[in-house]
Structure 1
Amino acid sequence: MSRASCGGDHRCPRDVGPPSDRGEPRHRHYRALGQSSRTREPLYRIEWFFRDMDVEALFGNGIEAGHFNDDRLARALDKFADADPWRIYHEIALGSPDACSLVLDVIRLDTTSFSVQGSYDPADFEDAPFRITRGYSKDLRPDLKQFLFGLGSYGGLPLFADVMSGNQSDKTWYGPWTERITELLSPEVWNTLIVVADSAFVTEENLNTYEKRWFISRMPETYRLCEALKDRAFADESRWIEVGSVAQEGKEAASYRIQGFEDELYGRTYRFVVVESSALDQRKAKRLEKLVAEEAQAIEKAVAQQERLSYHCEADAKVALEDWRRRHNRWGFHHVTGQVVQERTVKRRVGRPRKTDPDQGNVEVVRWRVTFTVEPDTEAIEQRRRRDSTFVLISNVPRTRRADDAELLRDYKGQIEVENLFRALKQPYFVHGIFVKTPKRVLALAYVFLLGLLVYAVTATI
């Protein structure tokens, strides 16, 4: 386990957005207990970590550095796991002075995977509260087993947290999380709280759970309604509303245009916001480039096959061209035009020519071919790029709370808060590895990491 310290090249969890009004950068550097931010210490060396410190000043009278050894810490993890670490975490997070002074408005939810080394025998997890197993890896390490972190951020503070099995689906996490958090928050708080989540939130079951709770989410691209709303938006260019940049400032900041709609999903009426971004996601841009290139290769192959053929008369060539057009009318990113051309070649007759033959045995052969001109359809490519850079938000927040659709977009783009928390949590100098074996201790250690993240986030706001 690494020390929780901030290195010089690190972005703190709340280090997002423009500088303050005084022009001061929002990023600050902190070092844990005066130690180097680059140093890592395994758990069994924790005694050496505290050896040169005033341990009594940190932890109380009678506490010595020798009291911190791996055996004691392992037993402490066992006790922590048995004491319901989920509830302990939230009592600390929601009971902190920073949290008590907050008026909860928007909670941003997201999950991430945390890959671990080791076999972790499934038999060890039969009675465990969660499982370390393979699942969808957001770390792009499907070869490793994992568990999941879930966070709920308010203003960059991880007020809500969860540790889940490695194969837990985001779609089935939001509902149980909501029911558990209901035990911690009063009805008055829930009545004013807006939950912001990604597209995995949008399922019939989750929408039923949030029938009387407010949320903002992103429509999955797999829904037909999502494509239908995009069609309606692009059909009327005059309805677009310029919003400008939302979460960033600077020349490279994306700007947005929106159109608001109301429609039904699963028998209920929701607010929908079609959002067009000036910046295309890098993955989608590469996918579009690949589609255009693949279509160009397919056209080149089809054209080459046809251009090798020749015909004895112009009528046959025109029939062949029309037949080719019927069979190849699916091109979406290129203009392909065909024309029939005449070719004249001179061939020599077989045998010796007669002396009286004015052509000396040469004869002119007239043939007809189909040739093509291929050009990129820049307008179609641009339309596809615009469509790929467009997404749809769904919300049941009433207009009495968020009158402007642009406010829904700003709330959703604030998801960068929880993403930055995950980025901080996964930094090697914060958590470098998990070297405990039992599932109980892994669970407890995961909540220790989360508590460290909470302290780290609070410190970054000072």
Structure 2
Amino acid sequence: MNNLNIKDLDHLGIVAGIIDEMGLVEIIDEEVGTHPQEKLSVGTIVKAMILNCLGCINAPLYLLSEFFKGKALEYLLGEGIKAEDLNDDKLGRSLDKVFGVGVKNRFTKIVLKAAAIFGIEQKSKHLDSTSMSVQGKYKERIEDEEDEQTKAIKIKFGYSRDKRPDLKQFMLNMICSGDGGVPLFMQLGDGNESDKKVFPQIIKDCQERGSSGFAVEDV
């Protein structure tokens, strides 16, 4: 009897198929760029991170290669790709490249394409925010060294939605579709930013892109 080489696919095969149908890898690679000598494109790295996050038991990024050991990587990510190719240096460089082209606009482009493919109605949308508490020390960003596209958020004390005023935080603003609550827009903000100040600009920006029908919460 020939030796059998058995590898796991699990539900990740379905997730990978949906990612492929959305064209997520191609969108990211088009924006970030590719190199003919690289084995893994940035889009493929992002796909691997998503599969890790949606696994039954996910792993921190520095253990991503361990997460994919024993899995059918060639079916999930592409021919010739091995678990050891997903090292933390490659992941870090890929995240830097995505950040460099602007996460917010890339996210919106991807989800709007996905919404069109899967028939998500966008007649009504909900805009809301929440605070994300953090621990530890954070340096202040240097304003003069950053442009609007890539500037870092400020970790600050502010109004805490999770009742932790003792912790610094950052804000997460999100627009979801009225049909199924699918995220259509995502933006991080400083920990002390005000909804009343930020929401009107978010709505204005989205309306200029042709979106309307907002329901605003917690203003």
Q: Counterpart of 1:109 in 2: which secondary structure? A: strand
Report if the CA contact (8 A) 2:141-2:152 is conserved. Answer: no
After the TM superposition, which parts of structure 1 deviate over 6 Å for at least 4 consecutive aligned residues?
none
Match of 1:168 in 2: 193
Match of 1:133 in 2: 156
| Pairing of 1:251-270 with structure 2 (within 5 A) | none
1:111 alignment partner, one of 129, 133, 140: 129
Report if the CA contact (8 A) 1:93-1:99 is conserved. Answer: no
**Alignment CA distance shift 1:85-1:123 (3 Å):** closer
Query: 1: CA distance between counterparts of 2:126 and 2:115?
Result: 20
Query: 2: CA distance between counterparts of 1:139 and 1:118?
Result: 17
Corresponding letter in the other structure for 2:111: A
How far 1:140 moved relative to its partner? 1.5
Report if the CA contact (8 A) 1:113-1:146 is conserved. Answer: yes
**Alignment CA distance shift 1:195-1:36 (3 Å):** closer
Report if the CA contact (8 A) 2:128-2:218 is conserved. Answer: no
**Alignment CA distance shift 1:49-1:65 (3 Å):** same
**Alignment CA distance shift 1:97-1:152 (3 Å):** closer
Larger-Rg structure: 1
Match of 2:213 in 1: 194
1:58 alignment partner, one of 76, 94, 98: 76
Structure that is richer in strand per residue: 1
Under a length normalisation based on structure 1, what TM-score does the superposition of the two structures give?
Answer: 0.32
Match of 1:144 in 2: 167
| Pairing of 1:374-389 with structure 2 (within 5 A) | none
Under a length normalisation based on structure 2, what TM-score does the superposition of the two structures give?
Answer: 0.65
Match of 1:178 in 2: 203
Corresponding letter in the other structure for 2:137: S
Identity rate of aligned residues, in percent? Answer: 32
Q: Counterpart of 2:157 in 1: which secondary structure? A: coil
**Alignment CA distance shift 1:44-1:178 (3 Å):** same
| Pairing of 1:53-452 with structure 2 (within 5 A) | 53-98=71-116, 101-123=119-141, 127=146, 128-154=151-177, 155=179, 156-185=181-210, 190=211, 193-200=212-219
How far 1:129 moved relative to its partner? 3.6
Query: 1: CA distance between counterparts of 2:90 and 2:191?
Result: 28
Q: Counterpart of 1:135 in 2: which secondary structure? A: coil
Report if the CA contact (8 A) 2:104-2:185 is conserved. Answer: no
CA offsets, 1:141-174, max 9 Å, x none? 2222221111111121111221111111111111
Match of 1:423 in 2: none
How far 1:103 moved relative to its partner? 4.1
**Alignment CA distance shift 1:85-1:199 (3 Å):** closer
Number of residues of Structure 1 aligned to a counterpart in Structure 2: 162
CA offsets, 1:370-406, max 9 Å, x none? xxxxxxxxxxxxxxxxxxxxxxxxxxxxxxxxxxxxx
**Alignment CA distance shift 1:84-1:162 (3 Å):** same
Q: Counterpart of 2:183 in 1: which secondary structure? A: strand
Query: 1: CA distance between counterparts of 2:104 and 2:72?
Result: 31
Query: 2: CA distance between counterparts of 1:165 and 1:60?
Result: 38
Query: 2: CA distance between counterparts of 1:199 and 1:49?
Result: 39
Q: Counterpart of 1:131 in 2: which secondary structure? A: coil
**Alignment CA distance shift 1:179-1:99 (3 Å):** farther
Long gaps (5+) in structure 1 = 6-31, 201-462
Report if the CA contact (8 A) 1:44-1:70 is conserved. Answer: yes
How far 1:67 moved relative to its partner? 1.6
CA offsets, 1:106-150, max 9 Å, x none? 111100011122211114676334212221111222222221111
Report if the CA contact (8 A) 1:109-1:195 is conserved. Answer: yes
Task: State the Cα RMSD in Å.
Answer: 2.5
Report if the CA contact (8 A) 1:90-1:160 is conserved. Answer: yes
Long gaps (5+) in structure 2 = 1-10, 12-50
How far 1:42 moved relative to its partner? 2.0
Report if the CA contact (8 A) 1:135-1:146 is conserved. Answer: yes
